Structure 1
Amino acid sequence: MAKVRAVDILEKFDLELVSGEDGLHRPIKLSDLSRPGLEIAGFFDYYPAERIQLIGMTELSFFQRLSPEEKKERMDRLCDYETPAIIISRNLSVPVELIEASEAYSVPVMRSKMTTTKFSSQLTNYLESMLAPTTAVHGVLVDIYGVGVLITGQSGVGKSETALELVKRGHRLVADDCVEIRQEDIDTLIGHSPELIEHLLEIRGLGIINVMTLFGAGAVRSHKRITLNVYLEQWHPKKQYDRLGIEEDKLKIIDSEITKITLPVRPGRNLAVIIEVAAMNFRLKRMGVNAAQEFTEKLAGVISEAGVDEMK
């Protein structure tokens, strides 16, 4: 099923349907828009027919200068079988030739009251959001001090229990069990919960709880940008874990990479507090304060001074 159709644009922006009603269910596959000025002038060699065609005052003013034969020919070619929709801005009058061509080829023609530039900006933002690449990840997404933390790990490792403790400490739940993620821009991942399990948290032995009902509306949020991944794994005695925090792993989701921290899980470790501190430390690093790097530099200085003393 198509993510966006012409009818969705009609309803979203409260547009007026002028003609071509039979084509309202045409799919929209691209977020790019086209201003068909050159096409109205007669140059169709590179006509991007698969885009929404946005016509403003400039295009219509030039169109009025054409002969009747040219007007009909241009509008017939503009209404391609691939064209998802044609939108007229500024509530301008729609040419009769366009109405006739749209009915013949079932291309919906809609009209907006907004200016061309303003409508173009709003429509592009909407399409980029709706048509962004998406995926789903098994995990929990929590907003901790403004940092979107994606908690992942094997089933039963304690992700939901940790999220519950974080909510009790004043942080906000975004999604549990399944996190739907869309890439809205380069290195911009937005996570949200499927509608069916929104605000719900599954605790083994307790069942499903509604976080918003128990803790209030301030304990949840609908979506959050993901910037940090905390991977929980069972403690392996023979595995060497990072003790300084110098090395930084990355997790790739779609085409973006986010910082990844691996936390070993064993009895006695307060994972909620550790993840909370990890989020605060991540914020500090982005502000230019890196405790591990400062310690390493101090240690190198002490070793260097000790070597000079030995040489004396």
Structure 2
Amino acid sequence: MAITVKTLWNEGAEKLQLSIIAGEQFLDRKLPETTMNRPGLAMTGFFQYFANQRLQIFGLAEFTYMKSLPQAERSKRLVDLFDQQIPGIVITRNRKPSKEMIELAEKHRVPVFRTPMVTMNFVNECTVILEELTAPQERIQGTCLEIMGIGVLLRGDPGIGKSETALALIERGYSLVSDDVTEVRRNSRSRLVCWANEVTRYHMEIRGLGIIHVPSLFGVAAIRRQTELDLVVDLKNPTGNEDRTGVQPETIEIMGVKVPYITLPVRSGRDMANIVEVAALNQKLKELGHDAAKELDDKIISRLTRGRVRNG
């Protein structure tokens, strides 16, 4: 799946320490390949098999070589490079681009970035981000929040109370990722990452109230751009057959990844936000190796075993 340079900027600017120094209005250029190219050979004038669909990385070697060229030759090589319709340029080690490079970037509508990172470190980090951004993704129904570092996806039939529960959790200081529709992809660590569609990001629909803008009402701490998914919670009308112990944990498979899953019955007067909050905190304890249901089950079995031994 091809992405744009803007997608990389939005998702990786902070981690890659990127700043835009030219062509900010041209971020919609396609980035067809996840690998990067160091155009050292191209700067010698050899453009056969040049990887023009890749992000071009100018490191110390490329800059040193360019400076060694006569002005006329350097200008010709830069013009030839930009004529290849490259998607973008990243300059590492905070090197300052020449005025000529900036002018050519604007003329050819090519964005130019700068980072203080060492070239090899940047290439490694950026490759991981690009591979994750181009990984297969799905759009699923549900409202996603981050609760104490735990990514929770609330699912349920329309009108069951997902958004109202999420709103109550936001009021308690937790963060909204997406409302009603959640984008999901699998990352390089075989974890699922959730985020909101750009159109609906930061907004919620509350029945009877309409659309609200979450950061305007609750502050920027009330939203997260994305989170890893740790728990899926289904809100359902009660059937009487709900699990009461949690000794046998359930999972649900999404994009080939098994995620812990629980079903919570919704009843009138029941504080669903409080229960979802406790479910998230309990999941956090499980990830730390503390499973209350299993520990109690083990204690009961141990007590019964000792009782049978004494009676025997």
The TM-score, its normalising length taken from structure 1, stands at 0.69
Query: In terms of mean alpha carbon deviation, does 213-222 or 155-164 score higher?
Result: 213-222
Q: Deviations over 1:128-179 (max 9, x none)?
A: 3993444332222233333222100122222123223334444443432223
Structure 1 counterpart of 2:285 = 284
Return the match for 2:206 from 202, 213, 220. Answer: 202
Deviation at 1:189, TM superposition (A): 1.0
Structure 2 counterpart of 1:20 = none
- Greater C-alpha radius of gyration: 1
Structure 1 counterpart of 2:96 = 91
Secondary structure of the residue aligned to 1:14 is strand
Return the match for 1:57 from 46, 56, 60. Answer: 60
Structure 1 counterpart of 2:233 = 230
Q: Distance in 2 between matches of 1:8 and 1:143?
A: 23
Structure 2 counterpart of 1:302 = 303
**Do residues 131 (structure 1) and 133 (structure 2) align?**
yes
Q: Which runs of 5+ in 2 are unaligned?
A: none
Secondary structure of the residue aligned to 2:298 is helix
1:93-132 mapped onto 2 (5 Å cutoff): 114=115, 117=118, 121=122, 124=126, 128=130, 131-132=133-134
Structure 1 counterpart of 2:274 = 273
Query: In terms of mean alpha carbon deviation, does 281-290 or 130-139 score higher?
Result: 130-139
Secondary structure of the residue aligned to 1:227 is strand
Q: Which runs of 5+ in 1 are unaligned?
A: 18-22
Partner letter of residue 272 of structure 1?
A: A
Q: 1:117 to 1:268 in 2, by over 3 A?
A: same
The TM-score, its normalising length taken from structure 2, stands at 0.69
Q: Distance in 2 between matches of 1:86 and 1:274?
A: 49
Partner letter of residue 128 of structure 1?
A: L
Percent identity at matched positions? 29
Deviation at 1:62, TM superposition (A): 5.5
**Do residues 145 (structure 1) and 148 (structure 2) align?**
yes
Conserved? CA contact 2:91–2:115, under 8 Å:
no
Q: 1:55 to 1:183 in 2, by over 3 A?
A: same
Q: CA RMSD in A?
A: 4.9
Q: 1:141 to 1:109 in 2, by over 3 A?
A: closer
Q: 1:54 to 1:142 in 2, by over 3 A?
A: closer
Conserved? CA contact 1:143–1:172, under 8 Å:
yes
Query: In terms of mean alpha carbon deviation, does 222-231 or 191-200 score higher?
Result: 191-200
**Do residues 166 (structure 1) and 169 (structure 2) align?**
yes
The count of residues paired between Structure 1 and Structure 2 equals 296
